[in-house]
Structure 1
Amino acid sequence: MEHGNPPHVVVLGSPGMGHFIPIVVFAGGLSRDLALSVTLIAHTGDPPSAAEQSLLRSLPDAVDLVLFPQLPAEDFTAGTKIEDRVFRTVMSSLPRLRSLLGNLAPFAALVVDPFCLDAIPVAAELGVASYVFFTSSCMSLSLAFHLHQLDASFQGEFRDLPEPVRLPGCVSVHGKDLMEPIQDRGNPVYATFLRIAERFLEAEGVLVNSFEALEPGAIKALREGSSHPPVYPVGPLIRAGSSDSGEGHECLRWLDEQPVGSVVYVSFGSGGALTRAQLYELAMGLEASRQRFLWVANRPHEHDASATFFGAESDDDDPGSFLPEGFLERTKALGLVVPRWAPQVAVLGHAATGGFVTHCGWNSTLEGLVHGVPLIAWPLYAEQKMNAVLLAEDAKVALRVEADEDGLARREEIARAIGCLMEGEEGKRLQRRARELRDAAARAMEEGGSSCMAMLDVAEKWKRQRNTQ
């Protein structure tokens, strides 16, 4: 990389914090760690939210930043799936993207996240190679590669499959646990996912935010496969604590006062929402567990588990207005409830944090694993059920919370799982496994580690591409 001008790589990300975080971290690493010339094109709110602005401030000054506004909520009918909103936002940006890329050309490569694959033909018009930065697991990537085969093999809904799906190198997954956007073949999003699955084949390579020790079987199978582009595990790429803007937050001061490993952290991410009934059961389960807890509480939503994916729907975020009456007073000696947001990386890295109740969003998953925190898997939407299967049955670093026939995780089940994680023998095994994966993640990212070498391999290809321009 040190000879001549560095390759210029353009990185394109889609809307929503779950996509925004990893693409910003990825782009920053290309500039900071590999000394590449980087232009980041990001879809944000108009104007960008406080969380988006905070993360953007963590980018190296050398990164050229272009912000595309996401489509406003008023442009969509009620009940529009988040995936449809993301795809339509990206599609609406393509004319502007075509003009921008034309002005930036020649450049070595375009790197897109999975919801921006429709930009690949735009780069092809300019003779530029495209790569995908896949922001979830290798297991989910394998599903994308095999989606057409699965589609042709069964005519009904996947939740009704008589046998579990066995993706190469992965544990079996029941049809009901496949990613949520493909669970309704009648929804236009399903057809979009089929079309996008074909776009993967147009990429020169796929970089995945995962690592060898977490998904050895899936990675081996992907490397050996010949019907898809080369796959490069380059993770875990997570936010640095400094970009989490948590210094001085009340929850960190509270954690400072708790014993080592004694607190279970509860958060369903930037987009997750529970129904009021489920929120009440969670509150009562935390109280019944008698364990210390730190809970990031979002206002309930009755119909959409991803209700806050594009930001909070209400400015009224006082937990006392939607939690069970008396709960905050009864639990104030053991727990702390904070509204909407906490500096998650700092929380997970705190010595007092001993467990993590998570929706299994991939960013949250990796942040927990990098800090050696065992998990309770409580998936809500997107590919999170697949992630939960991976974490509990393959990586064996998580417990599952089981729902009853009404779809509710009851307080007794919640208290059981938390007690098991924080005090039981199974919890001790999970803690040991979490520490093993923490150490393996660090080795993968250090100089000479598997993920570091994979990233260097791709960067060398970009360097050669620059030299042919």
Structure 2
Amino acid sequence: MEKTKTHIAVVSSPWFSNLASSFEFSKRFANLHPNFQLSFFIPILESLPDAFKSILETETLPTNLNPILLPPISKDDMPPNAEPVLQKKLTLIKSLPHIHHILINSLTSNSTHLSALVADPFALEVLDFAKQLKTLTFIYFASSAMALSVFFHLPKLHDMISCEFRDFPKTIRIPGCVQIRGIDLPEPVQDRSSPTDEEFLEMTQRFHSVDGFLVNSFLEMEESTVKAFANEGKGNFPLLYLVGPVAETKYEEKGSSDSKWLRWLEKQPPKSVLYICFGGGGTLSQHQTNELALGLELSGNKFLWVMRAPSNSVNVGLEHADDEDPLKFLPEGFLERTKEQGLVVPLWAPQIPILHHSSIGGFLSHCGWNSVIESVQYGVPIIAWPLFAEQRLNAALVSNGLKVALWPKVNENEIVEREEISKVIKSLMEDEEGKEIYRRMECLKEAAANAVKDDGSSTKAMHEVAMLWKNFRGI
């Protein structure tokens, strides 16, 4: 008689960063536990992102991991002028009937037992199927344990603070977390009158009802947060399993050996180059772009800048990239004056090979959690430049908590001026302060590598989850 396989269904949201992270987790879990069957559901808005297509086309996936591409949702089916956030949410909602149909059909085989539904925080609607399917419910949280703890405390903070969070004058203390300011709380809750604030509160309330969280961090990085979360919850909070660092490690750009950025990096001294990138969708205003360019020039430091065209929005999204040449928005004469100092790459370059390169000595980053994790994995110190979402929380953690980053100061108009940029770059890349940061990051890099070894904390957490899922036989 065929042995029953434990079946896990993982449902991502359409956000590329979440999609890439949860897929990497699924690959790792499938490789560690070949007796499990994983179905990975991919909601699609219009078409699959090119970067994710490359992952599916170039990698050999575990045989027990089945990516399921759901029928694409057309923007024509969206309300007129719908914002990108709403489009993503509606993509997931319109995909639910397809997910439900496949999940029900997957149970018709006697050799398969659906044990758990794992959802992205922005795909929580799928957990409504859990009762019918008699499964456990988990959330794959592609950010830090600190951010998760903050989300759990949001309702209490709403009751405690009457003004807008950004105007709250005191520091906020959450057990086990680095102190933060009101302005450091996630960007969607900064306006109490906005629908997103109410949606986030509803989401965090729903967090209490799941069986557990799979968090893209590792114990040695956030031990105090995890202990405080467990002590404060006293069994009333869901279990946390820190399973990170979850980040792609084998990615190679097609034809990367011929890439201009690689040829340029090969000519630079070890740890001499500052890499600048604001993620797949982060953008700066024209004013801030000018200040950054002139600050780089003023510092005299080597740089590799992956640049997007300026925008009045800090997050235009990967799929909403402007085809317009961003280099024409640089200050007049900048490229000529800095041609021996740096290289500006328009729109996109593969981040992991760059961070892994021996010439990279620092990373000016928007502090998206994927970028933070990749920096830690490759031991690259950070200049924190948060733009949106929970990035200010991440910046507070790496700069004030772990002390592996510097956070530039802004002026009264929320602009980081060229002199401040130059000063921070020199501090990180040349001064004793930067050397101390580098030493701390090296220790964190070693801890990250140890966490995913056979006897590491994150691998043990994966095994604990596997045992729970394997032994579960329905509600």
Q: TM-score, normalised by structure 2?
A: 0.93
User: SS of the residue aligned with 1:442?
Assistant: helix
Q: 1:26 to 1:292 in 2, by over 3 A?
A: same
Displacement of 1:313: 3.2
**Partner of residue 6, structure 2:** 7
Aligned to 1:49: 49
* Distance in 2, Cα, partners of 1:131 & 1:102: 19
- Which stretch of the first structure deviates more once superposed, 151-160 or 433-442? 151-160
Deviation of 1:186 after TM superposition, in Å, equals 1.0
Match of 1:414 among 417, 421, 424: 421
Matched, 1:313 2:321: yes
Contact 2:249–2:352 (Cα < 8 Å) also in 1:
yes
Alignment partners' CA distance in 1, 2:93 and 2:160 = 30
Alignment correspondent of 2:373: 366
Distance change >3 Å, CA 270–CA 59, structure 1 → 2: farther
**What is the count of residue pairs matched by the alignment?**
462
> Where in structure 2 are the equivalents of 1:276-425 lying within 5 Å?
276-302=286-312, 304-307=313-316, 309-316=317-324, 318-425=325-432
Deviations 1:76-122 (A, max 9, x none): 56583x54443333223222222222122341111111111121111
User: What is the distance in 1 between the residues matched to 2:309 and 2:261?
Assistant: 19
CA distance in 2, matches of 1:182, 1:101: 34
What secondary structure does 2:118 align onto?
Answer: strand
Distance 2:466 2:79 in 1: 39
Instruction: Give the aligned partner of residue 38 of structure 1.
Output: 38
Q: Structure 1's 205 and 189: CA in aligned 2 closer, same or farther, altered over 3 A?
A: same
Counterpart in 2 of 1:21? Answer: 20
Q: What does residue range 247-266 of structure 1 map to in structure 2 within 5 Å?
A: 247-248=256-257, 249-266=259-276
2:244, 2:432 → 1: CA distance? 30
Deviation at 1:55, TM superposition (A): 2.1
Question: Is it true that 1:116 corresponds to 2:123 in the alignment?
Answer: yes
Letter in 2 for 1:315: D
CA contact (8 A) 1:28 1:59 kept: no
- 1:397 touches 1:433 (CA, 8 Å); kept in 2? yes
In the alignment, is residue 215 of structure 1 matched against residue 217 of structure 2?
no
CA displacement 1:299-348 (0-9 Å, x = unmatched): 1101x1011x24143222x3332211211111111111111111111111
Checking the alignment, whether the CA contact within 8 Å between 2:274 and 2:364 is kept in structure 1 is: yes
Q: Which residue of 1 aligns with 2:471?
A: 464
Identity %: 40
Preserved CA contact (<8 Å) 2:363 2:381: yes
Equivalent runs, 1:150-189 vs 2, <5 Å: 150-189=157-196
Q: 1:246 offset after TM fit, Å?
A: 6.8
8 Å CA contact retained: 2:141, 2:215:
yes
Which one-letter code corresponds to 1:75 in the other structure? M
Does 2:78 match 1:75?
Answer: yes
SS at match of 1:238: coil
**CA contact 1:120–1:202 (8 Å) conserved in 2:** no
Displacement of 1:424 in angstroms is: 0.7
CA contact (8 A) 1:24 1:56 kept: no
C-alpha displacement of 1:378: 0.1
Runs of 4+ aligned structure 1 residues displaced above 6 Å come to: none
1:60 corresponding residue in structure 2: 61
Mean Cα displacement is larger for which, 347-356 or 326-335? 326-335
Q: Go from structure 1 to structure 2 and tell me whether the alpha carbon gap of 1:452 and 1:194 turns closer, same or farther (over 3 Å shift).
A: same
Q: Distance in 1 between matches of 2:358 and 2:282?
A: 26
Structure 1 residue 259 displacement after superposition: 0.6
Task: Tell me which moved more, 171-180 or 145-154.
Answer: 145-154
CA contact (8 A) 1:118 1:196 kept: no
- Among 247, 250, 256, the residue aligned to 1:241: 250
Counterpart residue type for residue 389 of structure 1? A
**C-alpha separation in 2, matches of 1:384 and 1:349:** 23
CA RMSD of aligned residues (A): 1.9
TM-score normalised per structure 1? 0.94
Q: Taking structure 1 as reference, are residues 378 and 74 closer, same or farther at Cα in structure 2, changes over 3 Å only?
A: farther
* Secondary structure, aligned partner of 1:252: helix
Cα deviation for residue 43 of structure 1 reads 2.4
Equivalent position amino acid for 2:120 in 1: D
User: Is contact 2:404–2:437 with CA below 8 Å preserved after alignment?
Assistant: yes
The residue identity in structure 2 corresponding to 1:401 is P
1-side partners of 2:253 and 2:122: how far apart? 25
1:178 Cα deviation from its structure 2 partner: 0.4
Distance 1:282 1:435 in 2: 27
Bigger Cα displacement from structure 2, 4-13 vs 384-393: 4-13
How many angstroms does 1:59 deviate by?
Answer: 5.7
- Cα pair distance change 1:261/1:310, threshold 3 Å: closer
Gaps of 5+ in 2: 108-112
Contact preservation (8 Å) 1:84, 1:189: no
User: What is the identity, as a one-letter code, of the residue corresponding to 2:226?
Assistant: I
**Is 1:231 equivalent to 2:232 in the alignment?**
no
Counterpart CA distance in 2 for 1:178 and 1:219 is 19
Residue 254 of structure 1 aligns with an amino acid whose one-letter code is W
**The residue matched to 1:66 in structure 2 has which SS?**
strand
1:244 positional shift:
5.4
